[in-house]
Chains A and B, each alone.
Chain A
Amino acid sequence: MGVKLLLEKAHVEGIRTFAVYRKEGGYKSVEKAIKQMGPEAIVEEVKKSGLRGRGGAGFPAGMKWSFIAKPEGVPRHLVCNADESEPGTFKDRYLMENIPHLLIEGLIISSFALGSNDTYIYIRGEYAWIVDILETAIEEAKANGYLGKNILGSGFDCNIHVQRGAGAYICGEETALIESLEGKRGNPRIKPPFPAIQGLWQRPTVVNNVETLAAVVPIINMGGDEYAKIGVGRSTGTKLISACGNIQKPGVYEIDMTISVEEFIYSDEYCGGIANGKRLKACIPGGSSVPILPANLLLKTAKGETRYMNYESLSDGGFATGSMMGSGGFIVLDEDQCIVKNTYTLARFYRHESCGQCSPCREGTGWMEKILNKIEIGKGRKSDIDLLWDIQRKIEGNTICPLGDAAAWPVAAAIRHFRDEFEWHVLNPDQAQKRNFGLAHYAEPIYVPAS
């Protein structure tokens, strides 16, 4: 069993309530942070921990905090990004549903460190029932003196407000999220200025993912140095992985980033192997935006070394032969899955979610969806594959926000690794929708006994 820092207590009976959470050692970190440490020391610990943003980009959280401007007399804000919308990702939902006080605890310390008296949780609109869970937790924390006025006699006031979005993937991008929080369309802003200088209502703002903010709790409890000892290299601490697709045991797993991809897929402690005795074909290891990898490149790097579940190893080989840790949305495809169809549904997703502000993304995502659909239903031509490649290249890097890149990468990786499957669809139009391409990319089925 690996180390568990976030979900260790997630299944304790009644952990959603303040009383049980407190009895299990909850809110200890708030006492320590406020009574013994002070804002600068908290930021220092988070820097030392090496914690990287858990939303997808992996930017060092302590460094992000240290960028916040502190002009005299201007309020600052912390915003929690709970707009979890990356296909394959449902870890923040799991955390908020099961152990909401962990997020609230992390938010209190982080608000204190950044000087945010009004902190906002921006949660995707569809997670409507979780709003109630969070608001109950906030009320309980307030009733017990951990939120509201003069927290623990420190003179620090803090309120946490939960705001629902209304169905827009783009609002997971931090400047779009801020626009949405201001009651506008979720159109990302041009940076600079960065939110740390001019964010919510033009005030200095830090936006962090749910898991990042929850991880601040163990960092304060154990100290940044101790936290940094867990994991490997620049992948410190634990990471929540939401595993889905054709596996025996879909769900949310906390890993310490030293396990191999093979162990994660096949061990009974995690995914439990491929469902229905099928073989592994491919995997999108970090949410739909990251490059898909065929089984052979997923389990071993191009150099033939074991691939591990951490930031560095998953990206080993760059986009040519590697992928990314991303948001931790781990999507597994078995031998019966069609790469063309899968790529088509993702392209449709990005077309639907493009905010329409930049032409390469607005037009390009629509073109990609149409061409992929054409190939999928057996009406494609060989030149369409090159056209697709050309379009994705023209989107990548040419948009205000990373949604353009996120839409381009899955298409590029699918063509890069499964071009023969696209060609097969073109050459066998009558069978394009009936069956899958074949076995060319399968690694031999591997079985790893549970340790």
Chain B
Amino acid sequence: MSQFSETQMTEFKRLVSRYPEGKQKSALLPVLHLAQNSFGGWLSQETLDYVAELLNITPIEVYEVATFYSMYNLKPVGQYLFEVCQTGPCMISGSDNIIQYIQEKLGIKPGETTKDGLFTLKTVECLGACGYAPMMQMGKTYREHLTKDKVDAIILECRSNAAANN
């Protein structure tokens, strides 16, 4: 089972230190983000149990939070996660076409991962980038003013990054 490395443990301690003594449960959301980033972009049940143990709370307290918030992935995801916004302002700016195009380009539907494990496509609700629509989140950053050409370039960028890392 995976455990936090020394650096990750230092970050874990920093997160917990921000709350009063005995209120360490408050660090749960940030710690789940840390765990997701540290263990392959998703949270397995083992990881959730590990977080519960670290924070000295019951596993159910972790499960109910992990299943409530949409940013926690409870299933494995591809190396690159495309989260495309589909809410009103993005829709009137053409997000439907972008979602359709990504599906055709990658041969997957929202919620699916490509066979090579590189890409996962997800549709999401408003990400607060309505003036720069259509848009998607990719890791820690936003990709905005999307066009078909931009989508092509992003996919190419991911593929060459992945190739360079292998």
CB pair A337 B125 closer than 8 Å: no
Q: Mark A55-75, 1 if CB is under 8 A from B, else 0.
A: 000000000000000000001
User: Given that A90-B130, A169-B125 are contacting pairs, would A128 and B89 also be in contact in the complex, using a CB cutoff of 8 Å?
Assistant: no
Question: What is the bound-complex CA distance between A251 and B89, given in angstroms?
Answer: 13
Contacting residue for B128 out of A85, A181, A243, CB 8 A: A85
8 CB < 8 A contacts A-B: A163-B18, A163-B29, A165-B29, A166-B69, A252-B131, A284-B88, A331-B130, A348-B87
Q: Mark B82-93, 1 if CB is under 8 A from A, else 0.
A: 000011110111
Kindly name the residue among A128, A246, A341 whose own CB sees the greatest number of chain B CB atoms within 10 A: A128
Answer whether residue B161 sits at the interface, using C-beta atoms and an 8 A cutoff.
no
**Interfacial chain A residues near B124, Cβ < 8 Å:** 167
CB pair B87 A345 closer than 8 Å: yes
User: Given that A126-B127, A127-B128, A250-B131 are contacting pairs, would A183 and B89 also be in contact in the complex, using a CB cutoff of 8 Å?
Assistant: no
Contacting residue for A185 out of B64, B91, B125, CB 8 A: B64
Q: Give the 7 A-B CB pairs with smallest separation, nearest first.
A: A183-B28, A166-B69, A250-B131, A167-B70, A167-B71, A244-B130, A183-B25
CB pair B88 A342 closer than 8 Å: yes
User: Given that A88-B88, A167-B70, A341-B91 are contacting pairs, would A129 and B141 also be in contact in the complex, using a CB cutoff of 8 Å?
Assistant: yes
**Interfacial chain A residues near B48, Cβ < 8 Å:** none
Question: Which A residues, 308 to 348, have Cβ-Cβ distances below 8 Å to chain B?
Answer: 329, 331, 333, 337, 341-342, 345-346, 348
Contacting residue for B68 out of A87, A186, A342, A345, CB 8 A: A186
Answer whether residue B126 sits at the interface, using C-beta atoms and an 8 A cutoff.
yes
What's the nearest-Cβ distance from chain B to residue A251, in Å?
5
Answer whether residue B154 sits at the interface, using C-beta atoms and an 8 A cutoff.
no
Question: What is the bound-complex CA distance between A181 and B25, given in angstroms?
Answer: 9
CB pair A242 B91 closer than 8 Å: no
Kindly name the residue among B27, B69, B89, B132 whose own CB sees the greatest number of chain A CB atoms within 10 A: B89
CB pair B131 A242 closer than 8 Å: yes
Q: Mark A182-204, 1 if CB is under 8 A from B, else 0.
A: 11111000000000000001000
CB pair B93 A245 closer than 8 Å: yes
Answer whether residue A124 sits at the interface, using C-beta atoms and an 8 A cutoff.
yes
Question: What is the bound-complex CA distance between A243 and B89, given in angstroms?
Answer: 10
CB pair B69 A85 closer than 8 Å: no
Contacting residue for B126 out of A163, A164, A169, A182, CB 8 A: A169
CB pair A342 B91 closer than 8 Å: yes
Taking beta carbons and an 8 Å cutoff, which residues of B are in contact with A? 18, 20, 23, 25-30, 32-33, 55, 57, 61, 64-65, 68-72, 86-89, 91-93, 124-133, 137, 140-142
Question: What is the bound-complex CA distance between A23 and B32, given in angstroms?
Answer: 39
Answer whether residue A168 sits at the interface, using C-beta atoms and an 8 A cutoff.
yes
Answer whether residue A156 sits at the interface, using C-beta atoms and an 8 A cutoff.
no
Contacting residue for B131 out of A127, A243, A337, CB 8 A: A243
Contacting residue for A84 out of B23, B69, B128, B142, CB 8 A: B128
Considering the complex, give the chain B residue whose CB is closest to the CB of A180. Answer: B29
Question: What is the bound-complex CA distance between A125 and B72, given in angstroms?
Answer: 10
Question: What is the bound-complex CA distance between A88 and B92, given in angstroms?
Answer: 11
User: Given that A181-B26, A185-B68, A245-B93 are contacting pairs, would A346 and B87 also be in contact in the complex, using a CB cutoff of 8 Å?
Assistant: yes
CB pair A128 B140 closer than 8 Å: yes
Answer whether residue A424 sits at the interface, using C-beta atoms and an 8 A cutoff.
no
User: Given that A161-B18, A166-B69 are contacting pairs, would A352 and B125 also be in contact in the complex, using a CB cutoff of 8 Å?
Assistant: yes
Question: What is the bound-complex CA distance between A127 and B137, given in angstroms?
Answer: 10
CB pair A87 B130 closer than 8 Å: yes
Since A93-B129, A184-B65 are in contact, a sample of 8 more A-B pairs with Cβ atoms closer than 8 Å, ordered by chain A residue number, is: A87-B87, A166-B69, A168-B69, A183-B65, A185-B68, A244-B89, A288-B88, A349-B125
What's the nearest-Cβ distance from chain B to residue A97, in Å?
11
CB pair B92 A337 closer than 8 Å: yes
**Interfacial chain A residues near B61, Cβ < 8 Å:** 183-184
What's the nearest-Cβ distance from chain B to residue A88, in Å?
5
What's the nearest-Cβ distance from chain B to residue A323, in Å?
15
CB pair A345 B130 closer than 8 Å: no
**Interfacial chain A residues near B137, Cβ < 8 Å:** 126
Question: What is the bound-complex CA distance between A14 and B124, given in angstroms?
Answer: 33
Considering the complex, give the chain B residue whose CB is closest to the CB of A292. Answer: B88
User: Given that A168-B68, A182-B26, A345-B91 are contacting pairs, would A124 and B33 also be in contact in the complex, using a CB cutoff of 8 Å?
Assistant: no
What's the nearest-Cβ distance from chain A to residue B88, in Å?
5
What's the nearest-Cβ distance from chain B to residue A219, in Å?
26
